[in-house]
Amino acid sequence: MTKLKDITKDLLARWRADYDSDASAHVLNAALAKTDMAELAYVPMNGAKLKGGFSIEVKTRGITAQRKSGRCWMFAALNILRERVAEKCHLEEFELSQNYLTFYDKLEKANNFLEMVIEHASEPLNTQRMRYVLRAMDDGGFWCEAVDLIEKYGVVPKQVNPESYQSEHTDLFLKTINRLLRKDAMELRELVQQGKAPYARKEEMLAEAYKAECIAFGQPVKQFDFAYRDKDEAYHCDRNLTPKAFYEKYVGQDLREYVPIINEPTSDKELHAPVAFHAIENMYGRDMKALNLPQEELEELCLKQLKDGEPIWFACDAGAFGARKEGVWDPASVQYEQLLGGFDLSMPKGAGLEYRSYASNHAVLLTGVNLDADGQPDRWKIENSWGEDVGEKGYFVCSEAYFRAYGYEAVIQKKHLSEEQKQMLEKPPILVNAWDEDAGW
């Protein structure tokens, strides 16, 4: 067979003739010339099959909106805790402050960035590790990081520490602060390489980051009164609370009793084993851990927790077969491949992750599931954090086909794990480099 090196005139002529003879391709070209791809790719009758009630459903209290920020992981974590506060206080609606944790999230990421720069100051800049470190910070995060932040700083009601424009539109702030951090990295590396102590200068750098955050997000509340009326219109006021005292009194949940369960059947991750990786976003430099299980076991644990009346922090690929306006995630309902000529996008789940075609890039709450006549899941209810203007007033649905291919992590209370699964947690974890696990979980 002749090796193809160049795109020749003969090839171009053959491809042109094939296209010219394809009437349906011309119709699609005319449609795409004036219409958004997302509009044309959606198949309404298939999407309609996923609508309706759910045989198992957990009540939640309102849709949140992360706006133009990448804080889905934080919104999902806080929305689980929100339900506990609302139950204790008999509230129909309630929201915890995302801006409060946003402030400390960025401060801890800046600190960890500078620490990693100092730790690896003698390493060349062109190594995989340093290229990864010098990406600096973004909005992204993980369940494990949310736990670290909440345990250290507590939580507060949104009414006492509301969002700012910058917390809801983080792009320019992040670009600016990352330029500052990279400049700081250059200076810290030079200090270490010259044999000088870097930590006094590092403290000054963090002070600059702290002030910039105060200007952008507002300084976090330190003490506050929690005043509210419950659903019976009774007035309550709890005075002089600190964020940690509020968490302990009104949430009171041991977050270490939750276990991240993943299904990532890649060549570097054994099933039925814990997996750990270190990420720049991890505020304490601890490895993040999860238990890698087969898809069937992950789904079984999700069913147990939903039946127990608790929503589930869930990570998935929001870019795969999603109709944002309609609130549907489903390969049969969103057909970009058919719209562009009829090619096939499907890959085995593990290969899709390894080739970067699939990615765990969004966190939501699973709040329901529908079981078919055989008692098997056929669709899942999702509380998203994209506001009430999309989906069914902010709620989405995904098909079982989407869940199996593009669902990657569910955070489950340890009590739902089998004894065998609990024993798996005691195994030495499989260590994965952060730069090999770019999408995260």
The band of 375, judged by pLDDT with boundaries at 50, 70 and 90, is very high
**Separation CA 268–CA 89 (nearest Å):** 46
The band of 277, judged by pLDDT with boundaries at 50, 70 and 90, is confident
Catalytic residue among 302, 361, 384, 398: 384
Mean pLDDT confidence for 48-68: 96
By the 8 A CB rule, do 177 and 265 touch? no
Closest Cα to residue 114, out of 173, 174, 186?
186
Mean pLDDT confidence for 307-327: 97
Question: Which whole-number Å values give the CA distances from 147 to 105, 190, 240, 306, in the listed order?
Answer: 11, 35, 24, 21
Task: Show which of 252, 284, 308 is a domain's final residue.
Answer: 252
Is the pLDDT reported for residue 354 higher than 90? yes
Query: Is 30 a member of any domain?
Result: no
By the 8 A CB rule, do 266 and 122 touch? no
**Mean model confidence pLDDT for the chain:** 95
Mean pLDDT confidence for 18-24: 98
Establish whether 384 is a catalytic residue: yes
The band of 263, judged by pLDDT with boundaries at 50, 70 and 90, is very high
Is the pLDDT reported for residue 131 higher than 60? yes
Query: Is 23 a member of any domain?
Result: no
**Separation CA 43–CA 36 (nearest Å):** 14
Question: Which whole-number Å values give the CA distances from 68 to 26, 244, 386, in the listed order?
Answer: 36, 28, 9
Closest Cα to residue 324, out of 398, 409, 380?
398
| Same structural domain, 260 and 218 | no
| Same structural domain, 168 and 145 | yes
Query: Is 28 a member of any domain?
Result: no
Tokens for 9? 């005139």
The band of 2, judged by pLDDT with boundaries at 50, 70 and 90, is low
Closest Cα to residue 125, out of 137, 117, 136?
117
What does the pLDDT read at residue 288? 84
Residues 6+ apart with CB under 8 A from 241: 223, 224, 225, 226, 249
Query: Is 155 a member of any domain?
Result: yes
Establish whether 362 is a catalytic residue: yes
Tokens for 123? 């390493």
By the 8 A CB rule, do 177 and 314 touch? no
What does the pLDDT read at residue 148? 93
What does the pLDDT read at residue 439? 44
Is the pLDDT reported for residue 371 higher than 60? yes
The band of 287, judged by pLDDT with boundaries at 50, 70 and 90, is confident
Residues 6+ apart with CB under 8 A from 140: 70, 73, 281, 440
Mean pLDDT confidence for 368-383: 98
Query: Is 146 a member of any domain?
Result: yes
What does the pLDDT read at residue 281? 45
Name the domain count of the chain: 2
Catalytic residue among 72, 302, 316, 398: 72
By the 8 A CB rule, do 311 and 58 touch? yes
Is the pLDDT reported for residue 440 higher than 50? no
Tokens for 427? 């195994």
Give percent above pLDDT 90 in the chain: 93
Read off the pLDDT of residues 140-180 as tens digits, 9 standing for 90 and up. 999 999 999 999 999 999 999 999 999 999 999 999 999 99
Give percent above pLDDT 70 in the chain: 96
| Same structural domain, 292 and 405 | yes
Q: Which domain holds residue 188?
A: 74-252
Looking at 227-276, list the stretches that DSSP marks H as alpha helix, in order from N- to C-terminal side.
243-246
Closest Cα to residue 283, out of 70, 153, 113?
113
**Separation CA 198–CA 432 (nearest Å):** 29
Question: Which whole-number Å values give the CA distances from 309 to 21, 137, 301, 438, in the listed order?
Answer: 57, 35, 13, 33
| Same structural domain, 100 and 235 | yes
| Same structural domain, 365 and 401 | yes
By the 8 A CB rule, do 100 and 161 touch? yes
Tokens for 379? 């669709």
Query: Is 5 a member of any domain?
Result: no
By the 8 A CB rule, do 381 and 397 touch? yes
For residue 434, the domain's CATH number is 3.90.70.10
Of residues 438 and 313, the one with the higher pLDDT is 313
| Same structural domain, 192 and 321 | no
Query: Is 15 a member of any domain?
Result: no
Task: Show which of 202, 223, 252 is a domain's final residue.
Answer: 252
Count of C-beta atoms within a 10 Å radius of residue 83: 21
Closest Cα to residue 417, out of 239, 260, 235, 252?
260
Mean pLDDT confidence for 30-36: 97
Task: Show which of 252, 268, 292 is a domain's final residue.
Answer: 252
Establish whether 72 is a catalytic residue: yes
| Same structural domain, 246 and 351 | no
Query: Is 19 a member of any domain?
Result: no
**Separation CA 98–CA 243 (nearest Å):** 13
Read off the pLDDT of residues 221-262 as tens digits, 9 standing for 90 and up. 999 999 999 999 999 999 999 999 999 999 999 999 999 999
**Separation CA 99–CA 203 (nearest Å):** 24
| Same structural domain, 197 and 88 | yes
| Same structural domain, 283 and 427 | yes
Mean pLDDT confidence for 192-206: 98
What does the pLDDT read at residue 296? 98
| Same structural domain, 212 and 132 | yes
User: Could you give phi then psi for residue 332, rounded to 5 degrees?
Assistant: -75, -20
Mean pLDDT confidence for 413-424: 98
In one-letter notation, the amino acid at residue 378 is D
Q: Helix (H, G, I), strand (E, B), or coil: what is residue 338?
A: helix
The structure's pTM equals 0.96
**Separation CA 433–CA 14 (nearest Å):** 45
**Separation CA 102–CA 150 (nearest Å):** 11
By the 8 A CB rule, do 80 and 313 touch? yes
What does the pLDDT read at residue 292? 98
By the 8 A CB rule, do 247 and 155 touch? yes
| Same structural domain, 148 and 216 | yes
Catalytic residue among 79, 362, 370, 416: 362
DSSP, residue by residue, 277-295: E--TT-TT-PPEEEEE--H
| Same structural domain, 312 and 222 | no
Quick one: 181 exposed, middle or buried, by C-beta within 10 A (0-12, 13-18, 19+)? buried
